[in-house]
Amino acid sequence: NFMLTQPLSMSESPGKTVTISCTRSSGSIASNYVQWYQQRPGSGPTTVIYEDNQRPSGVPDRFSGSIDSSSNSASLTISGLKTEDEADYYCQSYDDSGWVFGGGTKLTVL
Amino acid sequence: QVQLVQSGAEVKKPGASVNISCKASAYTFTNYGISWVRQAPGQGLEWMAWISAYNGHRNYAQKFQGRVTMTTDTSTSTAYMELRSLRSDDTAVYYCARDSGGYRPDYWGQGTLVTVSS
């Protein structure tokens, strides 16, 4: 199995843009889709990006995803930050052994 | 609307077993797999196991092999997860999730809190 590493925490001001990284430890980041989940306190996870860069219906286009093979990482970018974006964010991918989650990034918007 | 409704919170003593149910609705149960993901207090998400509702094929995370069993009842569109030999560090919220094509969850249950305490 591989690991996905995320920064533990990030903070940014409302209206700004933040990019959360997710680095794959072994194997190519491009070999398996990456998803991103938002989890607010006391709630379950919800998908904000799937298949590297696809947004589910209802997710604002302020959320975007990408992968970078040179750094073997995926990124979640949130532009025009709102206080409601304050949450934990998890990346997720998979291999034949099952799903793999990153450790999560606590995003503070203040 | 697809829904996964889980059974209620449980309090167990160390060494006991817990069985959590996950009842699916508004989709053809046997067309998708079900995975279980847990989240310890203040911690991240951890994938535990997957079962095909079509043929019962299972895949368990190595960490839980020998302690976890997943089953399904296609007559009631319900998946079950049994975790045995509970320890205090098994205290967590356990989520079931519908597996979209084998690589990601697309719908989640509401979560079941399991507290392991003597």
Distance CA B112, CA B38 (A): 9
Q: Residue B34 corresponds to which amino acid? A: I
**pLDDT of the residue at B101:** 80
pLDDT digits 0-9 by tens, B33-62: 999 999 999 999 999 999 999 999 999 999
Taking contacts as CB-CB distances below 8 angstroms, the residues of chain A near B96 are: none
Q: Determine the average pLDDT of the residues in B89-115.
A: 94
Rounded to a whole number of angstroms, the distance from the CA of A35 to the nearest CA of chain B is: 7
**Interchain pair A44, B45: CB under 8 A:** no
Find, among A108, A110, A92, A109, the residue nearest to A100 by Cα. A92
Rg (CA), chain B: 13
Q: Reduced to 3 states, what is the DSSP secondary structure of residue B11?
A: strand
Nearest to A98 among B45, B61, B111 (CB): B61
Exposure string for A25-34, b = 16+ CB within 10 A, e = fewer: eeeebeebbb
The residue in chain B having the minimum alpha-carbon distance to the alpha carbon of residue A48 is B106
**Interchain pair B61, A97: CB under 8 A:** yes
pLDDT digits 0-9 by tens, A79-93: 999 999 999 999 999
Taking contacts as CB-CB distances below 8 angstroms, the residues of chain A near B50 are: 98-99
Instruction: Report residue B65 as tokens.
Output: 């092999």
Whose structure tokens read 């799937």?
Answer: A50
B residues 59-88 near A, CB within 8 Å?
59, 61-62
Q: Determine the average pLDDT of the residues in B53-77.
A: 95
Q: Are A76 and A59 in contact (CB under 8 A)?
A: no
User: How is A15-33 classified by DSSP, letter by letter?
Assistant: T--EEEEEEESSS-GGGS-
Nearest to B44 among A33, A99, A104 (CB): A104
Distance CA B20, CA B112 (A): 8
Give the model's confidence band at B102: pLDDT under 50 very low, under 70 low, under 90 confident, else very high. low
